[in-house]
């Protein structure tokens, strides 16, 4: 078990501090392991469904960088809830540089 | 999983017209006319009886988007394993299974049509092959296959868009990806139809046996290919599956059983083939019947974002998979409707995608919908289509190549004469004669 830290704000606004994230685990997998509400990861981490959509908070977005074209195409399918700091959790893999990262789970695309 | 508070929540039922009331009372999805043109039946259910017991089918049709979403998000209460294997050769299980044991190398339950936690480990094993990034690497090769196929009919001025273009495209791609023999295409088309027919609940005994014979032939073929790859692995998906290892949650590693691997090769061959061909056939259908569609596609074909949205809106507007099964394992109230234990259910995706509370003016083809990702054309939850990125890519490349090589594409028969494959599982045009000019 690793010792990297992640701060999630789930879809209901509840914060969760995870302190044992492994190097290499994705923010989607880690959220599912910890039961973070609003993260589904239907496609299994294949960047193909946008059910692990998060907003990367504060200065962390500069560290993770913007989505590539393939990821952007998925985020664009939930355009009503996409923001400038949107990413898919499955495409962000934990490493020492991201230790302490804070993300907020995006609401489900609207009705 | 639904909490008690959510179970108690009941959304509004709307008043029905006398025609809608009559349709609900006498209509059934086993009626071929309703199967072919089901939207009025769906609309009546969605409005007045959103989880409707279809007497002809003896199945509960889940028609509102919110209810489809709730059911597919609870894979334990609503079992795919029981739903799928129950409807397969419905009423003739034992005969079907015994036939395959005797003639098809064995009866191999579909490992992917299962429930968590077993499903989770099978799914994990398959997922790497289908990521959007991996599929992107296949784009040049897929483009070549699609280009060549359309080029081969472009000079003729007329063809059948389903049997001459859509079906051959998806079969050629899956033959390459799996590593099957060129020349096997005709058989794969027959095998695909047979597998889909087994879950259609529309078979006579003779038809079931004829379809079982095709499935036996399919199994014998893939078992032969798998045995070859056991000793001589190659760069193809059969080799990947034969040699696949599964890591369990506790870190232990195990291999797939041979039975599991046969079922997964079979599922990969069929699931990504017939359904994607249906989506491409439906694309020709909308291009030739909906005013402005051909012009729209032509105007956006070089804009990657808009083309992606076009493909997704097509999946919402004409989902190839109409409905898939679940079985309710314990009596459960869903949105005010009590589903009995053991009841068979169908998640009616093409009704969910027409739910006007989620997609305003649902019959309008609108590539700028802000919530396109909410459509259920690929299902959703843990059983969401695993090959969705590949399907999107095949449809996108087909759309691009149609525009680049053909113009003035027109339906060569009256729209009312279009016939559909008799199944509740997919909404598949049997034959679509078209005329066109080479661009």
B124 touches chain A (CB under 8 A): yes
Distance CA B272, CA B320 (A): 11
Contact A48 B305 (CB under 8 A): no
Mean pLDDT computed over B288-312:
97
Mean pLDDT computed over B324-336:
96
Between A1 and B344, the higher pLDDT residue: B344
Contact A76 B371 (CB under 8 A): no
Domain boundaries of chain B, sorted by first residue: 4-438
Give the position of tokens 């998925």: A74
Question: For residues A87 and A67, is the Cβ–Cβ distance under 8 A?
Answer: yes
B251 touches chain A (CB under 8 A): no
Which chain A residue has its CA at the smallest distance from B123's CA? A44
Question: For residues B52 and B61, is the Cβ–Cβ distance under 8 A?
Answer: yes
Distance CA B80, CA A85 (A): 37
What's the pTM value of the predicted model, to 2 decimals? 0.94
Where on the phi/psi map is residue B335: left (φ > 0), alpha (ψ -120 to 50), or beta? left
- Rounded percentage of chain A residues whose pLDDT exceeds 70: 99
Check whether A49 has a pLDDT greater than 50: yes
Question: For residues B170 and B280, is the Cβ–Cβ distance under 8 A?
Answer: yes
- Rounded percentage of chain B residues whose pLDDT exceeds 90: 82
Looking at residue B256, what is its pLDDT?
86
Distance CA B334, CA B70 (A): 8
Strand order in the sheet with B406-411: B158-160, B433-438, B406-411
B372 touches chain A (CB under 8 A): yes
Mean pLDDT computed over B110-137:
91
* Options 3.40.50.2300, 1.10.1740.10, 3.10.20.30, 3.90.1150.10; CATH of A4-101: 3.10.20.30
Check whether A3 has a pLDDT greater than 80: yes
Token reading at A17: 């501090």
Looking at residue B5, what is its pLDDT?
44
**φ/ψ (deg, to 5) at B249:** -60, -30
The chain-wide mean pLDDT, for chain B, equals: 93
Check whether B439 has a pLDDT greater than 50: yes
What string of DSSP letters covers B250-309? Answer: TS-EEEPPHHHHHHHHHHHHHHHHHHHHHHHHHHHHHHHHSTTHHHHHHHHTT-HHHHHH
Check whether B2 has a pLDDT greater than 50: no
Model confidence band, residue A69 (pLDDT cutoffs 50, 70, 90): very high
Looking at residue B199, what is its pLDDT?
80
Option in A48, A73, A109 nearest B131 (CB): A48
Give the position of tokens 């909906």: B290
Q: Which pLDDT tens digit goes with each residue over B397-433?
A: 999 999 999 999 999 999 999 999 988 989 999 999 9
DSSP state of B112: S
- Å from B354 to nearest chain A CA? 12
Check whether B390 has a pLDDT greater than 90: yes
**Interface pTM, i.e. ipTM:** 0.96
The CA-CA-CA angle for residues A45, A49, A50, to 5°, reads 90
Share in percent of chain B as helix, strand, coil (round to 5): 55, 10, 35
Looking at residue A111, what is its pLDDT?
56
Check whether B33 has a pLDDT greater than 50: yes
Token reading at B32: 């071929």
Q: Which helix (H) or strand (E) holds B346?
A: strand B344-348
Check whether B7 has a pLDDT greater than 70: no
Mean pLDDT computed over B316-337:
96
The CATH architecture one would assign to domain B4-438 is: Orthogonal Bundle (1.10)
Option in A40, A51, A70 nearest B136 (CB): A70
Token reading at B196: 């889909």
Question: For residues B394 and B135, is the Cβ–Cβ distance under 8 A?
Answer: no
Q: Which pLDDT tens digit goes with each residue over B187-200?
A: 998 998 899 888 87
Name every chain B residue with its beta carbon within 8 A of the beta carbon of A50. Answer: 373
Mean pLDDT computed over B229-252:
84
């Amino acid at each position: 078990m690793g010792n990297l830290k992640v701060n999630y704000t789930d879809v209901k606004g509840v914060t969760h501090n995870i302190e044992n994230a492994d190097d290499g685990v994705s923010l989607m997998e880690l959220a599912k392991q910890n039961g973070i509400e609003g993260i589904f990861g239907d496609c299994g981490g294949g960047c193909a469904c946008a059910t692990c959509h998060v907003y990367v908070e504060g200065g962390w977005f500069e560290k993770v960088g913007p989505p590539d074209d393939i990821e952007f195409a998925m985020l664009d399918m939930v355009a009503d809830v996409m923001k400038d700091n949107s990413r898919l959790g499955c495409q962000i893999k934990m490493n020492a540089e991201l230790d302490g990262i804070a993300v907020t789970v995006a609401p489900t695309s609207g009705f | 999983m639904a909490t008690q508070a959510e179970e108690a929540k009941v959304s509004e039922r709307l008043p029905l017209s006398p025609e809608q009331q009559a349709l609900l009372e006498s209509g059934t999805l086993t009626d071929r006319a309703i199967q072919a043109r089901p939207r009025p039946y769906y609309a009546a259910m969605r409005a007045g009886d959103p989880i409707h017991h279809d007497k002809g089918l003896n199945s509960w049709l889940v028609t509102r988007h919110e209810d489809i979403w709730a059911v597919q998000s609870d894979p334990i209460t609503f079992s795919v394993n029981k739903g799928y294997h129950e409807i397969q050769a419905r009423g003739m299980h034992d005969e079907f299974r015994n036939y395959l044991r005797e003639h098809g190398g064995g009866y191999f339950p579909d490992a992917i049509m299962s429930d968590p936690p077993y499903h989770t480990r099978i799914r994990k094993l398959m997922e790497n092959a289908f990521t959007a990034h991996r599929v992107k690497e296949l784009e040049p090769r897929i483009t070549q296959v699609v280009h060549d196929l359309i080029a081969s009919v472009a000079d003729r001025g007329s063809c059948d868009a389903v049997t001459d273009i859509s079906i051959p495209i998806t079969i050629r791609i899956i033959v390459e990806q799996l590593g099957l023999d060129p020349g096997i295409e005709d058989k794969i088309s027959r095998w695909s139809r047979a597998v889909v027919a087994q879950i259609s609940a529309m078979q006579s005994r003779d038809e079931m046996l004829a379809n079982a014979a095709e499935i036996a032939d399919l199994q014998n073929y893939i078992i032969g290919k798998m045995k070859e790859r056991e000793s001589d692995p190659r760069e193809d998906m059969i080799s990947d599956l034969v040699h696949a290892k599964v890591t369990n949650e506790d870190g232990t590693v195990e291999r797939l059983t041979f039975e599991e691997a046969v079922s997964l090769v079979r599922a990969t061959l069929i699931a990504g083939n017939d359904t994607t061909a249906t989506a491409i056939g439906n694309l020709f259908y909308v291009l030739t019947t909906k005013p402005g569609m051909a012009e729209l596609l032509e105007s956006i074909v070089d804009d990657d974002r808009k083309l992606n949205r076009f493909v997704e809106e097509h999946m919402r507007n004409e989902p190839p998979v109409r409905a898939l099964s679940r079985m309710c394992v314990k009596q459960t109230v869903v949105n005010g409707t009590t589903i009995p234990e053991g009841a068979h259910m169908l998640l009616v995706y093409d009704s969910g995608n027409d739910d006007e509370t989620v997609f305003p003016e649902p019959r309008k083809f609108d590539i700028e919908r802000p919530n396109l990702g909410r459509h259920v054309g690929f299902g959703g939850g843990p059983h969401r289509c695993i090959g969705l990125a590949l399907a999107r890519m095949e449809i996108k490349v087909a759309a691009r190549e149609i525009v680049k090589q053909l113009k003035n594409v027109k339906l060569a028969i009256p729209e009312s004469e279009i016939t559909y494959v008799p199944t509740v599982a997919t909404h598949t045009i049997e034959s679509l004669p078209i005329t066109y000019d080479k661009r």
